[in-house]
Structure 1
Amino acid sequence: MVLVPDPASPRSRSRSSSVSTTNSDVALPSFASLAPSRPPTTVAEEETRVSIPGLEKKVILKIDAGPGCGGVAWAAGEVLSRYISYRYSIDPTILRNKKVLELGSGTGLVGIVAGLLDPSSEVWVTDQEILLDLMEINAELNIPSPIPIPTPTWTTSNITSVIGRRNVHAVELNWGEDLSDSDIPIEEIDLVLAADCVYFEPAFPLLIKTLCDLAPVGKEMDILFCWKKRRNADKRFFSMLKKHFDQITIQDDKIGEKDMYGKQGVSLIKLVRRK
């Protein structure tokens, strides 16, 4: 979940006058300048548990509404999590040994679910800096880091070994910024996940630029995009997006699932980069 002001505030409903496409000669503003960070306000002990079919245990999430809307679990994240869990139960290759990146992760729910489903996957949950601690805490709660095992005293070495490793990593990623210096292996990403990233209109061009950078023309990759319809401004985003991506409505979800989340105003699509 991207860090933004409250969607109900007048500021968040204002229209962007900066750019309308990723090909504009006008410089894009920084994400931080559009949505400045705010300190957390929610007590550290507050948490929720999300049940995802296909997982043995509920996903534990610390939540924090202080930094805006990012630190809270929203319906679109649960819908996307249930979808990838269902598809994984049919075809595990969608995650097996795949490198996965979630945009606007917020609590990290969707990426954590992907990491739980298949330990062989490598997952990066991303958002603004102020949400890094929250994502890191939630990743650790659900997929604890391995415990170092000291080398036996009868050996000549004091080296400590670690069996296994956590496959979900929390990383800062601000939309619109250059990805070449990222710690994430951007060119190796196989799957991009994005849930509820559409409601802050000034950031639309930044999100589209990042999607284009992650999926350059000619690269074969999947992008799963889920959002809740809130206002007419959403149409502007998808009008901008269609210049770069075909938008394919997901039809292979579990029977009855689409009808259920459709009543909540949630949509789930696959994006395919246009050539």
Structure 2
Amino acid sequence: MAGPILQSPSSFNESLRSDVANEDRISTSLDSVAPLEVSESLVPVREMKQAGTICVSLDGLLRRPIFIKEDLKEGCGGQLWPAGLLLAQYMVHEHRASLLGKTIIELGAGSGLVGLAVARGCSTNSPIFITDQECMLPLMKDNVNTNDLSSNARAIVLDWGSPLPDCIPYGSTVVLAADCVYFEPAFPLLISTLQQLLSPGSVCYFCFKRRRRADLRFMKQAKKIFDVAEIRGYMDHDNFARENLFLYSIRPRSAKNNITLLPNPC
């Protein structure tokens, strides 16, 4: 859960604190690492100052779990959130064998949970790009290396609204985004980046928890530009929906409703 730096991380974290103080999140001490089941993601935890390392198995979907280090020094993006767990579970359960030949990019990755779960649990034949701001790069790299996934995943900087990094190829793309609608001034930048990434045949799996009216305003903006559809019927759908967690697919408009996509500079 992170995006472009529009104010300092410390000041933004302070302004966001009142909105997320009662948010569902996962936390464990540095001295105790226990297996995490997806259902535990819905347990409310109010303390935001701690960080730790969490073992994620996605209810056994990952035959070999991943270890995710949390770090809150740069703000709330450095912790795990239920939307990320939902999106990780959905991708591993529903798309385990359908990602071959795809360029896969996670936006606002924070700790990198979703991209690393896909790298560990899905069949892919090219590195997954786990992206966020510069301040999150050390944490993303740390989690890639901790899980021995450096050959399957690459942590890079991608600021929304900026040209795409040269290393991201143009082609069949799957974009992953979890809880990327927490900061309304960044919505136009996120839309711009999606325009650059989503070529014909591409799809973004977009998951978030509805907290404020602004969340729905983003979806309203997206529907003016892209084909947007809510995804239902996935594993544990009813449980997640009761917690206001929702999953959408976002695709480029069909040819008859074509829009002008920003060119990829690569």
Give the TM-score normalised by the residue count of structure 1: 0.73
1:170 equivalenced with 2:155 (yes/no): yes
CA contact (8 A) 1:95 1:121 kept: no
Separation in 1, partners of 2:210, 2:204: 19
Separation in 2, partners of 1:134, 1:74: 16
Separation in 1, partners of 2:217, 2:232: 24
Q: Which residue of 2 aligns with 1:197?
A: 180
Match of 2:76 among 44, 69, 81: 69
Separation in 1, partners of 2:179, 2:127: 22
Deviations, residues 175-219 of structure 1 (Å, cap 9, x unaligned): 00012x53222x135211000101101101100110011114xx1
SS in 1 for 2:130: strand
Q: Which residue of 1 aligns with 2:118?
A: 114
Deviations, residues 70-113 of structure 1 (Å, cap 9, x unaligned): 11110000000100111135xx1x22232200000000000001
Q: In the TM superposition, what is the alpha-carbon distance from 1:272 to its structure 2 partner? A: 1.6
Q: Which residue of 1 aligns with 2:131?
A: 126
Higher relative contact order (CA 8 A, sep 6+): 1
1:269 equivalenced with 2:248 (yes/no): yes
Residues 11 and 230 (structure 1), Cα distance of their counterparts in 2 relative to 1, 3 Å cut = closer
Residues 80 and 174 (structure 1), Cα distance of their counterparts in 2 relative to 1, 3 Å cut = same
SS in 2 for 1:66: coil
Q: Which residue of 2 aligns with 1:143?
A: 148
Match of 2:56 among 46, 50, 62: 50
CA contact (8 A) 1:47 1:63 kept: yes
Q: In the TM superposition, what is the alpha-carbon distance from 1:243 to its structure 2 partner? A: 1.3
CA contact (8 A) 2:208 2:246 kept: yes
Separation in 1, partners of 2:209, 2:114: 15
Separation in 1, partners of 2:127, 2:233: 24
**How high is the sequence identity, in percent, across the aligned residues?**
38
Give the TM-score normalised by the residue count of structure 2: 0.75
Residues 248 and 2 (structure 1), Cα distance of their counterparts in 2 relative to 1, 3 Å cut = same
Separation in 1, partners of 2:154, 2:16: 31
SS in 1 for 2:192: helix
Higher helix proportion? 2
Separation in 2, partners of 1:234, 1:65: 23
Q: Which residue of 2 aligns with 1:188?
A: 171
Separation in 2, partners of 1:11, 1:63: 20
Return the index of the structure with the highest Cα Rg. 1
Q: Unaligned 5+ residue runs, structure 2?
A: 4-8, 21-48, 259-266
List aligned pairs for 1:15-26, cutoff 5 A. Answer: none
Q: Unaligned 5+ residue runs, structure 1?
A: 13-40, 146-165
Residues 137 and 42 (structure 1), Cα distance of their counterparts in 2 relative to 1, 3 Å cut = farther
The number of residues matched between the two structures is: 216
CA contact (8 A) 1:97 1:122 kept: no
Match of 1:96 among 76, 84, 100: 100
CA RMSD of aligned residues (A): 2.2
CA contact (8 A) 2:132 2:157 kept: yes
Residues 121 and 263 (structure 1), Cα distance of their counterparts in 2 relative to 1, 3 Å cut = farther
Match of 1:81 among 83, 88, 92: 88
Q: Which residue of 2 aligns with 1:8?
A: 16
